[in-house]
Amino acid sequence: MPQDNPYRCVGRGMPRTDSVAKVTGTAQFTADIPAHRCLVGKILRSPHAHARILSIDTRKAETLPGVKAVVTGVDAPVKYGILPVSQDEYPLAVEKVRFIGDEVAAVAAVDEATALRALELIDVRYEVLPAILDPHEALVREDVKIHERAAEANIERRVHLVFGDLEQGFAAADYIREDRFFKDASSHAFLEPHSALAQYHDAKLTLWTSTQVPHYVHRSLSKVLGIPMEKIRVIKPALGGGFGGKGEPLPLEFAASLLAVKTGQPIRITHSREEVFLTHRGRHPMEMTLKTGVKKDGTITAVQFSSLLDGGAYGSYGVVTMIYSGQLLTAPYRIPAYAFDSARVFTNKPPCGAQRGHGGVQPRFAFEVHLDRIAADLGIDPLEIRRRNAIDPDTVTVNELRITSCAFKACLDRVAETVDWKNKRGKLPYGKGVGLAGGFYVSGAAYPIYANPMPHSQVQIRADRDGGVTVFSGASDIGQGSDTLLMMITAETLGLFETSVRVVSADTETTPVDLGSYSSRVTFMAGNACRQAALEIRDRLLAVCAIKLEQNQEDLILREGCLFAKGTPEPLMTFAEASVLAEASGVALCALGGYRPPELAGSYKMGGVGPSPAYSFGAQAAEVEVDTETGDIRVLKIHCAHDLGFALNPLTATGQGEGAVAMGFGETVLEHHGFRPGGRHNGPNFLDYKIPTCLDVPDVEVTLIESIDPAGPYGAKEIGEGSLHPSLPAIVNALYDAIGCWFHDLPLTPEQVLAALDRKEAR
């Protein structure tokens, strides 16, 4: 819970800087940007799950009046991919298609109807190949290769890591339990469909795109199009939700760019809702096993984990997802010996990638339910087994993750209190129950996606002549509120009013590099870079003023838009006047701050995935009710306590927690990104893929727990992703309390609940 706040700006709930634009309709998302003579682009997609392309004839489409250009794989046969180890995508298919929806060709036309008509006129001849839809089949089918680069069958990558003495750990155990779990795919389902607007003028390409990662898009466009980076400008306009689904370069961005270069006219491609689902990059279906040894009192002695990731048709972020799945199980509980085996396979389905809570959500669900089962077997209270094993601050995990600030126990105690654990667990009438779970997550990956020694975030601040400052940052505000945080950090550090700080962000031409909005890195890294730049401006300003006023620099402070001598109520001059002094003295009030994490990699291969400069911790308690006649699950309330270091903006921080819990709730009981035999999507729309409405969501109570991280900006860490992890297992564990049934497969359906009740009765 936020303690007494010593600050004037940070730590206070503040509406977003863009909220007036968003509430009046003037905020421009990519699809809203006007462009003179703009063409409409549409993408032709594969009707087959797996096929060889024999020929593509675009002549008829090209001669249709109103069609300005058609592009296919031959126009840019250059591979790319978000990870350097997984460069396996083309903007448009070359030789093969690998899922129903794979991009084959794109057209630019004067209007949508003409573009759609042109797609029908493109004649593609395919040789249909056998499709692999089952990840187990993908593990062994050598005769069908989705990608030639898979050395063994269709396995993209395996990982096997052992930490500590596993044998001894299990030998020291009084009790060992093994379980299997499965978590099916979910999709981001952001409200704004992907959109890209490209323009090519004077040998320069400008792309406005709904991306979380303008810098990576910039690099990839240059590689694929063969245009130098200085001749490409990527701008992220207002963005309508990402959650990982806009976190990597995507085919529509290349297709729009290719068509713009070819036609010389602006062109926009906006996905239909169906295309959003087919583009996917969502949560990997993951099959998991867990084996854990414990002492009689519940103390963990060893854990063994395995995961099989159904990756879909391309690499995307999958290798990281796979490594994370094992690496992120070693907290928030002490585990002295640990091993994991994981594999990611290709299948002929839309590619999976990163989704909010990336890599850790499925294993966290598995582990927390597994831990509750162990507690039940040993007759230990689930809260107690967690408290006994809970990790402390300033420790190192068995796989060498450096834990600094950590208020996990406080999170557990808080939700136990708010849910009234003592009086409710095991004591509610049949059909009602409470359950809890813990979790933790990275505040930014310690290593960039492509190896380089430069800062992960840079922020530039420039004083303006009106007494305000402008902050330039490459960070992408995707709805999480990063522009507002940068404004607040700057205002706090420079003693300015919020209205005196403007933020310009996510434009590769005008803002310094930030790696993007993924892995919960922005508050921590861009926040630190911003604070550093602001401190530099402050020091330059104070140094000049100290000389002019013949005072010690240490005795001067900036607050409320003015310069003060410490301990005096009357200002010496305004910030604007101080800026004039500095500029007139030839001191440039323009500074660049940067943040690069310390060296944190583990001393083993793949030890660079998992480390973070800081980790958030959290616990949640769910209250559920089951209709034992219909199998219907009602989640009444979820209590969420999250250690976010310091709440820079409690209003947006609680909003992140509430949204994450709602998403976790959705993928526990509603959302199923499934496929029919043959590989066709179950229903790429909001009727079949059900995200929670406001009638579905449980009441969510978020408590912000502050541990003041020593390296975070004002002590802040992440909240947006880690607060999703405990939601799934907290609900599942509450169901056991309600009806005495365990569930190992998500998402849950009423049918599963009824079947479990039947099995229980039969026993």
Partner 1 sequence: MKTIKFLLNGDAIEIGTRDEETLLEVLRNRLSMTGTKQGCDQGECGSCTVLLDGRPVLSCLTLAVRVENRQVTTIEGLAVGGILHPVQVAFQEAGAIQCGFCTPGMVLTAKALLERNPHPCREKIKEALAGNLCRCTGYKKIVEAVERAAKRMEETDAPG
Q: Which is nearer to partner 1, 212 or 612 (CB)?
A: 212
* Residue selected from 10, 31, 131, 445 as contacting partner 1 according to rule CB under 8 A: 31
Query: Closest CB to partner 1 among 41 and 91?
Result: 41
Pair of tokens at residue 360 = 């850790």
Residues near partner 1 (CB under 8 A), total: 57
| Interaction of residue 481 with partner 1, rule CB under 8 A | yes
Q: Does 28 bind partner 1 (CB under 8 A)?
A: yes
Residue 699 interacts with partner 1 (CB under 8 A)?
Answer: yes
The residue count of the chain comes to 763
682: number of Cβ within 10 Å: 13
Contact call for residue 63 and partner 1 (CB under 8 A): no
695 near partner 1, judged by CB under 8 A:
yes
Q: Which of 34, 228, 598, 677 binds partner 1 (CB under 8 A)?
A: 34
Among 342, 480, 517, 616, binds partner 1 (CB under 8 A): 480
Within 13 Å, how many C-alpha atoms sit on residue 738's CB side?
A: 29
DSSP string, 253-273: HHHHHHHHHHHSS-EEEE--H
For tokens 């090519």, the residue is 200
For residues 232-256, b (16+ Cβ closer than 10 Å) or e, as one string? bbbbbbbbbbbbbbbbbbbbbbbbb
- How does DSSP classify residue 443? S
Determine the Cα angle at 322 with ends 319 and 326, to 5°.
140
Residue with Cβ nearer partner 1 (15 or 164): 15
List, in sequence order, every residue forming a beta bridge with 71; answer none if it has no partner. Answer: 106
Q: Is 243 in the site for partner 1 (CB under 8 A)?
A: yes
Site for partner 1 in 397-456 (CB under 8 A): none
Mask of contacts with partner 1, 157-196, x by CB under 8 A? -------------------------------xxxxxx---
Residue 661 Cβ vs partner 1, minimum distance, rounded to whole Å: 6
Counting contacts by CB under 8 A, is residue 19 touching partner 1? Answer: yes
CA angle 168, 171, 174 (to 5 degrees): 135
Shortest Å distance, C-beta 662 to partner 1:
3
End-to-end CA distance of the chain: 46
13 or 426: whose CB is closer to partner 1?
13
220 to 78, 178, 228, 707: CA distances (angstroms): 10, 44, 11, 39
Q: How far is the CB of 403 from partner 1 (least distance, A)?
A: 29
Say which residues have a Cβ less than 8 Å from residue 587's Cβ, sequence separation at least 6: 540, 541, 543, 544
Near partner 1 by CB under 8 A: residue from 26, 63, 510, 553: 26
Contact yes or no for 79/291 (Cβ under 8 A): no
Q: How far is the CB of 208 from partner 1 (least distance, A)?
A: 13
Sign of CA dihedral 536, 538, 541, 542: negative
Tell how strand 204-209 and strand 232-235 pair up. parallel
Cα dihedral value 373, 374, 380, 385, nearest 10: -100
Could you tell me which stretch among 18-26, 126-134, 171-179, 524-532 binds partner 1 (CB under 8 A)?
Answer: 18-26
Give yes or no for residue 18 binding partner 1 (CB under 8 A): yes
Write the interaction track for partner 1 spanning residues 249-278; mark x where CB under 8 A is met and - where it is not.
Answer: ---------------------x-xx-----
Comparison of 493 and 652: residue with beta carbon closer to partner 1: 652
Single residue of 224, 302, 345, 661 touching partner 1 by CB under 8 A = 661
Interface with partner 1 (CB under 8 A): 13, 15-16, 18-29, 31-32, 34, 188-193, 238-241, 243, 270, 272-273, 478-481, 651-652, 654-655, 658-663, 685-687, 691-695, 697, 699-700
